[in-house]
Structure 1
Amino acid sequence: MRHLLESAPRFEDWEGLHDALSDAYFPHALRPRSSGPAAESGLELVDLDRCRLARIRFGATVSIVTDHPGAMAVNIPLAGHLESHVGRRVMQAGPGQATAFQPDTPALMPAWGPDLDILGLRIDTDFLHRESERVFGRGDVVVPGDIDLRSANGEAWLRMARATFDSARDCAGNLFRDPQVAGSVASMLVTGLLLAAVPDEPGSMAAMRPRPVHRVIRAIEADPARAWAPADLAEIGGVSVRRLQQAFREHVGTTPFAYLHDVRLQRVHDDLVHGRGASVTDVAVRWGVTHLGRFAAAYRAKYGELPSHTLSASA
């Protein structure tokens, strides 16, 4: 655990600044493009092990080239304007915005001026994937290059990131030297970023379900006719029966067995609509229904008619 450059350093030359920034944030190529002293530059770092917050400014206009090896970068202008090039794409960011750079992807910042004050977040690739899986249930979530931090979630996350940096500065990093504290803060920062930056899509609420819920839902939908027991579903989820019940209520709004019952109703309804089955009983039993009286009442409540009427209409 380290908090580098705790007292504002003075850089004797651009080479010294380059070396410090490469160590603290990302390896890169730096080239001054205007006159100005390296000594007017500033660099502070909060190292949370799997991610880092860096406050960066330069004493002259410089160009930066980097491919962000092994980690994603999010650069947030606190003042000034940042132009970034990734391939043929040009991204612009000012206060209230941010630019995200995917890992191992070449990027150019052609004119980082002395008026630009950046709060940067570096996130190791494997940690980003782990947090993506925890938040969205999958590790392949892509953070967009242009991030608008003027939404409620974006503003809240930016306040969190700035407060984390300011707290580390005020206590010389001592607060975050405990690995458990650092890990919790890192997870909080990355989770907040994902929720603020990744846009809502159809089914996005389902995407936010944790892995145990996803695993159980997949198992139920793959084989709803199976005579599932609570312990079977909990084993698939890798959690206790009680925790699985809680997770379903929190993220699905129902219980695992209510969800299973609803899937069975859907499968029965689909078969009846398309006339797949000699009788309602045959279809219901095929999908694991054992209490036909309760099934008929639930079917009518859901679809507004008795299952026999659905089958008759398909004939």
Structure 2
Amino acid sequence: MTTLLSERSRIFEQADAHAVSEYVNQHVGSHCIRLPPRGRPQASIKHRTFSSLDLCRISYGARVQVTSPALETIYHLQILLSGHCRSSSRGEERIYTPGEILLINPDDPVDLTYSADCEKFIVKLPVRLLENACLDQHWLLPRQGIRFDSERRDLAGLDGFVQLLGLICHEAESCAEPEIQTLYERIVASKLLGLLASNVQRVCPEAESAGGFEAVRQFIEAHLHDEIGVEQLREVARVSERSLYLLFERHVGLSPRDYVRQRKLERVHALLQLPGARSVTEVALDHGFVHLGRFSETYRKRFGELPSHTWRRQRQGAARSG
């Protein structure tokens, strides 16, 4: 199989399983583990952050049960490299073996039991990455969010996908430029939407509707620093208010106000990751977020961390590279 993270990405080797679990909680997803009552299993983990993706290769060295209420803001793509995994979710139980893929949706409760000889590779993807990929393809974004089907999948049916992940691991370990990282993460999201069954309707909007929405979308992108009202958008689209809401529902599954707020949040998120980004307060106020406490909570729900954490990580990365 293609190399998915080398020794250069090693974080822990033959370490305490609870220490590895705590690292996973911080970087890959909140969870709880249950280990055998006897023995001291030796766990290992490799990890890299690549743009908004997290890449992780992990083994616990003992039979372990991993549980979590739901991942909320992220998808987990897991590839079983060795051993086996039993998944119990929503009354269904499945056994996964090497070469098979398990994809966990953000609202799925997690109850996974891994064998002692199990090693897995995990890709953590934020919700907004899949949503943006859906919109880039001009597909209809489901109102309840993108959900992948729970069917069994093996790597043999995913043409070139593992090779793509191997290339991404190599780029992550080679410290690729941010622009390259962003390009690759978009390719991963598009590949997943194209290869795996989901509730996304892969239909192209009618030409007239596409033109109307595209004009509104471009107006929003050009005025993210401004207050954008429904009346302004109605005038740009040249439709009634009711038709405007239907237009947004058809194309993005959101109300005009929710879509504008989402795009403002995504712009703030992108700016906070740039080298030399200004303070969180300045960037937030520039985009109309005057209630900073409410903004921070909305940001956390959207991206899985506080804006100050995004900004601090960028500063730490700049200091290391400098």
Query: What TM-score results when the alignment is normalised by the length of structure 1?
Result: 0.58
CA distance in 2, matches of 1:167, 1:107: 30
Q: Corresponding residue for 1:261?
A: none
| Cα contact 2:147–2:199 (8 A) shared by 1 | no
In structure 1, what residue type is equivalent to 2:137? V
Count of aligned positions = 210
CA distance in 1, matches of 2:138, 2:162: 21
Change in 2 beyond 3 A, CA 1:137/1:9: same
CA distance in 2, matches of 1:97, 1:103: 20
- Counterpart check, 1:16 vs 2:15: no
| Cα contact 1:52–1:121 (8 A) shared by 2 | yes
CA distance in 1, matches of 2:186, 2:107: 22
> What pairs up with 1:243-254 in 2 under 5 angstroms?
none
CA distance in 2, matches of 1:105, 1:5: 33
CA distance in 2, matches of 1:234, 1:69: 30
Change in 2 beyond 3 A, CA 1:237/1:48: same
Q: Corresponding residue for 1:179?
A: 178
- Counterpart check, 1:197 vs 2:196: yes
| Cα contact 1:149–1:155 (8 A) shared by 2 | no
In structure 2, what residue type is equivalent to 1:75? Q
Higher relative contact order (CA 8 A, sep 6+): 2
State the Cα distance separating 1:166 from its structure 2 match: 4.2
- Counterpart check, 1:161 vs 2:152: no
State the Cα distance separating 1:27 from its structure 2 match: 0.8
| Cα contact 2:41–2:62 (8 A) shared by 1 | yes
| Cα contact 1:5–1:45 (8 A) shared by 2 | no
State the Cα distance separating 1:46 from its structure 2 match: 2.3
State the Cα distance separating 1:95 from its structure 2 match: 2.7
Q: Which runs of 5+ in 1 are unaligned?
A: 221-231, 240-315
Among 97, 100, 104, the residue aligned to 2:100: 97
| Cα contact 1:34–1:62 (8 A) shared by 2 | no
Identity in percent = 13
- Counterpart check, 1:108 vs 2:111: yes
CA distance in 2, matches of 1:215, 1:165: 39
Change in 2 beyond 3 A, CA 1:4/1:71: farther
Q: Which runs of 5+ in 2 are unaligned?
A: 1-5, 220-322
Q: Corresponding residue for 1:144?
A: 149
Q: Corresponding residue for 1:65?
A: 67
Q: Corresponding residue for 1:27?
A: 30
| CA deviation profile, 1:224-246 (whole Å, cap 9, x unmatched) | xxxxxxxx89747859xxxxxxx
Q: Corresponding residue for 1:54?
A: 56
State the Cα distance separating 1:58 from its structure 2 match: 1.1
- Counterpart check, 1:218 vs 2:209: yes
CA distance in 1, matches of 2:165, 2:45: 16
- The structure with the largest alpha-carbon Rg is 1
